[in-house]
Amino acid sequence: MSVGLIALLDDVAFMVRAAAASLDDVAGQAARAGTKAAGVVIDDAAVTPRYVVGFAAERELPIVGRIALGSLRNKILFLLPGALALSAFAPWAITPLLMLGGAYLSFEGAEKVYEAVFAHHGHGDEADQEGGAGGDQAREDRRVASAIKTDFILSAEIMAITLATLPEGSFWMRAAVLAIVAVGITAGVYGVVALIVKADDAGLALARSTAGPPVGNLIRGLGRGVVRGMPILLTILAIIGTAAMIWVGGGILMHGLEAYGLSAPAHAAHAMAEAAAARVPFAAGLVAWLVTATVSGVIGLVVGGALIPLTTFVLAPAWRALSGLWQRRA
């Protein structure tokens, strides 16, 4: 009996060690994959705050929460099983789908640039300006839907990068890593976004501090600085967010073309990045990234700019016609 019990305990201990090793492996792979996707994560955090601009302060956190839930739903319910299914049954479809997403991001970013330069209202602006009963709620719903749609493309890129970094392994191991990355990145991105959009409220509270001098003067001065600086920060983030959509979209398109044998843009970007980095060895990594991002941005701006008239005069009217036909039949 004692020998059998010892053998059983040995088996249990072995299974516990194996489970712990598996968990360590999953956590390690998730950390490495999250690091690889850090660039897109930063882009996601920069893009999102612009969607809460123009709403009452009490609606800012609820809007961020709605977008975060939509982002998590994108990743867990759609992108995670989709990525696993495509990698198993149709790996050839991943690149063209990512390129479609890159084209969409390029279009969105290029349209924002066009609006800023020519004071033109984009395809969603007129709807945002509608008033009347339910106007604010309808505007919020449209803004949230637009944010979740943009997040879907960025999340797809994050999940694709994560999947590409994973070594061959079991289905459940890959699924667990993707799920950990999805939850962790969503929590991190939207936690930072929530801090950004509520920083002005925190600054206002500090500016109203009743503490006595000299500490009170310092706290109130800090609060006033935060309040005055937040509009500038939000403007900068809006610019970064637009630029991020363009360079991420252009980068997806550039790497997609490379996968299909059209490697000249990627090779040119690599050569320019190496040449520039060699001239500034103390900041070689930063310079190489800036050059690559610039080339990707040019590609994204050209493609997005070309899609503006195509969308305005062909795709959007066709979609409205099809939608009207569908509604009449319903």
pLDDT higher than 70, residue 207: yes
The predicted pLDDT at position 123 comes to 54
The predicted pLDDT at position 121 comes to 56
Contact between residue 188 and residue 41 where contact means Cβ atoms under 8 Å apart: yes
DSSP 261: T
Of the listed ranges 79-88, 154-163, 239-248, the least confidently predicted one is: 154-163
Cβ within 8 Å of residue 94, ≥6 positions away: 83, 86, 87, 160
Instruction: Provide the whole-model pTM.
Output: 0.70
**In the numeric block, which tokens belong to residue 214?**
């000299």
252-to-3, 43, 259, 318 alpha-carbon distances in Å: 61, 13, 11, 27
pLDDT higher than 90, residue 301: yes
The predicted pLDDT at position 209 comes to 83
Residues 262-295 have pLDDT tens digits of 999 999 999 999 999 999 888 888 899 899 999 9
φ, ψ of residue 263 in degrees (nearest 5): -95, 0
Mean pLDDT of 84-98: 83
**In the numeric block, which tokens belong to residue 202?**
């925190």
Mean pLDDT of 83-101: 83
Q: Which regions of 206-245 does DSSP assign to beta strands (E)?
A: none
Long-range contacts of 226-229 (CB under 8 A, 24+ apart): 226/199, 226/200, 226/202, 227/200, 227/203, 229/203
The predicted pLDDT at position 297 comes to 92
Each residue of 84-102: b (16+ CB within 10 Å) or e?
A: bebbeeeeeebbeebbebb
pLDDT band at residue 20 using 50, 70 and 90 as cut-offs: very low
| Residue extents of the structural domains in the chain | 21-242
The predicted pLDDT at position 76 comes to 92
**In the numeric block, which tokens belong to residue 8?**
């059983």
The predicted pLDDT at position 239 comes to 83
